[in-house]
């Protein structure tokens, strides 16, 4: 049985410095901002498998992995849309007073390296996990080939722009 990571608080700098690691699960129901985008039918049963490892290699690093499957709400048909989450990211922990990494290269291109986070003596792990999950979600979740919902009376809905189309003809 996997350990629940709910309520776990870490010192990010110490965690990375000492090369600690932790693995376990996080219940979707414990991630309030994520609940707004997830289909309600699976919330109580779904957990995410998570793993966090700290290490030092020219700085302080957290390696976060989050895996799971849940349903998002399709923004076109409003039905459940299966989504597989597979996060594998490096986060650079920036100690207080240390310079932040430069994200813009000399030629103006943006570096696609690791994300940086400020060192935190009391980081709630589920908040970090929730933030990374939200960043991994599609901006507008929708099925590849679904249609908008139909009216219950079977009639075709008129476009709110139909009046504008008529004005354009005159």
More confident site: 62 or 29: 62
Q: Domain range for residue 143?
A: 9-169
- At residue 129, does pLDDT exceed 60? yes
Rounded distance between C-alpha atoms, residue 70 and residue 47, angstroms: 9
DSSP characters over 50-73: EEEEEEESSSEEEEEEEEEEEEEE
Q: Is residue 44 part of a domain?
A: yes
Chain segment 91-101, per-residue pLDDT in tens: 999 999 888 87
**pLDDT the model gives residue 130:** 95
Q: Which helix (H) or strand (E) holds 134?
A: helix 125-136
Mean pLDDT is lowest, of 24-33, 70-79, 119-128, for 70-79
Q: Is residue 1 part of a domain?
A: no
More confident site: 6 or 166: 6
The residue with tokens 């409003």 is: 78
The secondary structure of the chain in percent helix, strand, coil, rounded to multiples of 5, reads 25, 35, 45
Chain segment 1-32, per-residue pLDDT in tens: 578 898 899 999 999 999 999 999 999 888 88
Q: Is residue 13 part of a domain?
A: yes
**pLDDT the model gives residue 100:** 83
Rounded distance between C-alpha atoms, residue 137 and residue 72, angstroms: 9
Q: Is residue 3 part of a domain?
A: no
Q: Is residue 2 part of a domain?
A: no
The total number of structural domains that make up the chain: 1
**pLDDT the model gives residue 16:** 96
Mean pLDDT of 137-144: 87
Q: Is residue 125 part of a domain?
A: yes
């Amino acid at each position: 049985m996997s350990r629940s990571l709910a309520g776990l608080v870490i010192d990010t700098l110490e965690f990375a410095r000492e090369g600690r690691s932790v693995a376990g699960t996080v219940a979707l129901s414990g991630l309030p901002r994520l609940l707004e985008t997830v289909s309600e039918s699976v919330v109580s049963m779904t957990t995410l498998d998570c793993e966090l490892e700290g290490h030092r290699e020219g700085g302080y690093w957290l390696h976060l992995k989050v895996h799971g499957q849940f349903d998002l709400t399709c923004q076109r048909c409003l039905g459940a849309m299966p989504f597989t989450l597979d996060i594998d990211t490096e986060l650079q922990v920036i100690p207080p007073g240390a310079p932040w990494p430069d994200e813009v290269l000399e030629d103006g291109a943006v570096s696609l390296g690791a994300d940086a986070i400020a060192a935190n003596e009391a980081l709630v792990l589920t908040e970090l996990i929730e933030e990374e999950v939200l960043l991994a979600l599609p901006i507008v979740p929708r099925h590849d080939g679904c249609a908008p919902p139909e009216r219950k009376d079977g009639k075709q809905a008129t476009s709110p722009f139909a009046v504008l189309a008529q004005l354009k003809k005159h």
